[in-house]
């Protein structure tokens, strides 16, 4: 079993839809939870960062962490064609020297 | 501008021909690492370095070497490339290993035939 599981998609939605992206994990020591966005032929860039459980909102993006279920989510409201990209979840723990484990990434297409 | 620069961006090479992918960062970061990205497998860490002259294996180090002689540079060396090393490679740097501070390069597409 992988430490971090993420559905690779692809996920195709119409413009304006609410998008939900999810990851599950097995290591209860993870404390730092990130979402990276990767456009085609580019390196990943940090989109959202959350420490421990709870929600974090930034514009159209909301990150949720449920440590009891070992489940994290990224919601995108009013999705735009420019949101079309691969979204990777990532997590790390103090134990293990903050090593970051990445999910496989979900490919998102937002159709105009 | 904060940057991680890696070269070459695209390379086709033949089995067994040694190659080096260079990586340089301008943020004075201590921590640097190399990842490979393959479909369905996500980003997997190859090697990392906590500081100058301090390197260690990641999850998939076989067939790769690295060196860290200067803080800003962290080259990835494939001594004898094989077709299973065909992949997209990313160099990354950060102040600390924590994922919320990682900066990635643009990627190097490597094909070994």
Find chain A residues with C-beta within 8 A of B98's C-beta. 32, 92, 98, 100
User: Mean pLDDT of all residues in chain A?
Assistant: 92
pLDDT in tens, A77-105: 999 999 999 999 998 887 766 678 899 99
Q: How far is B79 from chain A (nearest CA, A)?
A: 25
What's A7's DSSP letter?
Answer: -
Which residues, in sequence order, are CB contacts of B72 under 8 Å at separation 6+? B24, B25, B26, B28
pLDDT in tens, B25-50: 999 999 999 999 998 888 999 999 98
Asked whether the predicted pLDDT for residue A50 surpasses 70, the reply is yes
Instruction: Give the mean pLDDT of A50-65.
Output: 92
Going edge to edge, which strands form the sheet with B76-78?
B4-7, B19-25, B76-78, B65-66
Strands A4-6 and B31-38: unpaired
Q: Could you give the CA distance from residue A66 to residue B87 in angstroms, rounded to a whole number?
A: 33
Quickly state the pLDDT bin for B90 (edges 50, 70, 90): very high
Query: Do A44 and B90 lie within an 8 Å CB cutoff?
Result: yes
Query: Do A34 and B104 lie within an 8 Å CB cutoff?
Result: no
Find chain A residues with C-beta within 8 A of B102's C-beta. 46, 100
Q: How many contacts (CB atoms, under 8 Å) link A and B?
A: 56
β partners of residue B94: B31
β partners of residue B78: B19
């Amino acid at each position: 079993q992988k430490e971090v599981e993420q559905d690779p998609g692809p996920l195709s939605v119409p413009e304006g839809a609410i998008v939900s992206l999810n990851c599950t994990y097995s290591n209860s020591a993870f404390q730092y939870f990130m979402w990276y966005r990767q456009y085609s032929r580019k390196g990943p860039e940090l989109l959202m960062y959350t420490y421990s459980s709870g929600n974090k909102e930034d514009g159209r993006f909301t990150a949720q962490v449920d440590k009891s279920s070992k489940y994290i989510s990224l919601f995108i409201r009013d999705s735009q064609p420019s949101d079309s990209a691969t979204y990777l979840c990532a997590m790390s723990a103090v134990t293990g020297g903050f090593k970051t484990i990445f999910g496989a990434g979900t490919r998102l297409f937002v159709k105009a | 501008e904060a940057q991680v620069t890696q070269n070459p961006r695209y390379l086709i090479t033949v089995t067994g021909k040694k190659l080096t992918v260079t990586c340089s960062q301008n943020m004075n970061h201590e921590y640097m690492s190399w990842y490979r990205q393959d479909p369905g497998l996500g980003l997997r860490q190859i090697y990392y370095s906590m500081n100058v002259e301090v390197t260690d294996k990641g999850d998939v180090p076989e067939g790769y070497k690295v060196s860290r002689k200067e803080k800003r540079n962290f080259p990835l060396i494939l001594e004898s490339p094989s077709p299973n090393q065909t992949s997209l490679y990313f160099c990354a740097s950060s102040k600390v290993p924590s994922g919320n501070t990682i900066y990635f390069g643009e990627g190097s597409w490597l094909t070994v035939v």
